[in-house]
Amino acid sequence: MANLKTVSKKSKAQSMGMHTEILTGRTQQKFFNPDEAENFYYFGTYDVDFNKRTELDVMDMTAPEANKEIDNLMSQGYGTIVIKNPQGKHSLGVGILNKLNLIFEGSLGYFGMGSCDGPIVRINGRVGWSCAENLMAGKVVIEKNAGSCFGAAIRGGDLICKGSVGARTGIDMKGGTIIIGGDAGAFTGFMMQRGRIIILGDVGINLGDSMYDGTIFVGGEIGSYGSDAVDAELTKSDQDWLKRKLKVAEIGENFEVSKMKKIVAGKKLWNYDNLEPTEKKGAI
């Protein structure tokens, strides 16, 4: 074994025999080969037709029963499913790894649309805590308010709440975009690692506390900044992106984006900046 006191930090772990490959900061990234069809196919997903539409009344169903029925309808090729009477039930619509147009005529409880990858969802009510947790891709639109931990740990997709949200929105998020039409509570963007959060209204205390990376845009007042969160310059590129995003999201299209504040992480994290050049920390 090499002398660990003298080897560079980069090669220390290799010298200890913990791994053999040279880490570059992109070890988690997988590159798709178009010739490998399986890379574009999830086991257990279905070919659905968006023009094939049905309704499902879940009034007297438990959440597992409702979720199984949604899966059953997708297996029959239904690409547009309208859920009636969700009645604030928890864990509805979880684990959908499929393209699907899903509409909820009412409100959801906790953990709605969790761990999904691909569906386009419209919820014509409110949602409880932890909506769309771990969303990978797709779009979830909530017409009213949302509870705390909105979009916790999402990795992709667009998550839009037209009303106000509770505390810890975008906690631990690793990608994607969260857009809030109203106000947001305390600890928004707590330990955020990547992605973007847009809040058109006011935001509570400790905004972006302990954030690693990513960007937060705020249109209203900020209660207070969390540890490591700092202001950054709002560029022309940012404004163009905000306008486009708000228009596509059908929310705040005419909002004066030039007056928004931009908040990023002010802390230098070793071996982290390489990962996403577009999210460089402009403030330091």
- Residues 119 and 74 sit within 8 Å (Cβ to Cβ): no
Q: How far apart are CA 200 and CA 221, in angstroms?
A: 10
How many amino acids of this chain bind another protein (CB under 8 A)?
30
Determine the distance from the C-alpha atom of residue 42 to the mean position of all C-alpha atoms in its chain, rounded to a whole number: 20
Residue selected from 73, 102, 113, 186 as contacting another protein according to rule CB under 8 A? 186
Residue selected from 78, 89, 172, 213 as contacting another protein according to rule CB under 8 A? 89
Q: Which residues pair with 58 in a beta bridge?
A: none
- Name the token pair of 207: 């905004």
160-174 burial string, b = 16+ CB within 10 Å, else e? bbbbbbbbbbbbbbb
User: Contact between 91 and another protein (CB under 8 A)?
Assistant: no
Positions in 108-127 near another protein (CB under 8 A): 109-110, 125-126
Q: How far apart are CA 19 and CA 3, in angstroms?
A: 17
Residue selected from 106, 151, 157, 219 as contacting another protein according to rule CB under 8 A? 106
DSSP label at residue 146: B
User: Contact between 67 and another protein (CB under 8 A)?
Assistant: no
C-alpha atoms less than 13 angstroms from C-alpha of 258 in its C-beta half-sphere:
1
Residue selected from 80, 91, 145, 215 as contacting another protein according to rule CB under 8 A? 145
Give the shortest CB-127-to-another protein separation in angstroms.
Answer: 9
Q: How far apart are CA 82 and CA 34, in angstroms?
A: 34
Near another protein by CB under 8 A, which window of 75-83, 106-114, 250-258, 259-267?
A: 106-114
User: Contact between 82 and another protein (CB under 8 A)?
Assistant: no
User: Contact between 168 and another protein (CB under 8 A)?
Assistant: yes
Residue selected from 7, 75, 82, 163 as contacting another protein according to rule CB under 8 A? 163
Give the shortest CB-87-to-another protein separation in angstroms.
Answer: 5
Q: Which amino acid is at 97?
A: L
Residue selected from 88, 95, 201, 266 as contacting another protein according to rule CB under 8 A? 88
- Residues 188 and 208 sit within 8 Å (Cβ to Cβ): yes
* Intra-chain end-to-end CA distance of the chain, in Å: 38
User: Contact between 205 and another protein (CB under 8 A)?
Assistant: yes
- Name the token pair of 106: 């009412």
User: Contact between 128 and another protein (CB under 8 A)?
Assistant: yes
Near another protein by CB under 8 A, which window of 44-52, 171-179, 185-193, 250-258?
A: 185-193
Residues that bind another protein (CB under 8 A): 87-90, 105-107, 109-110, 125-126, 128-129, 144-148, 163-168, 183, 185-187, 204-205
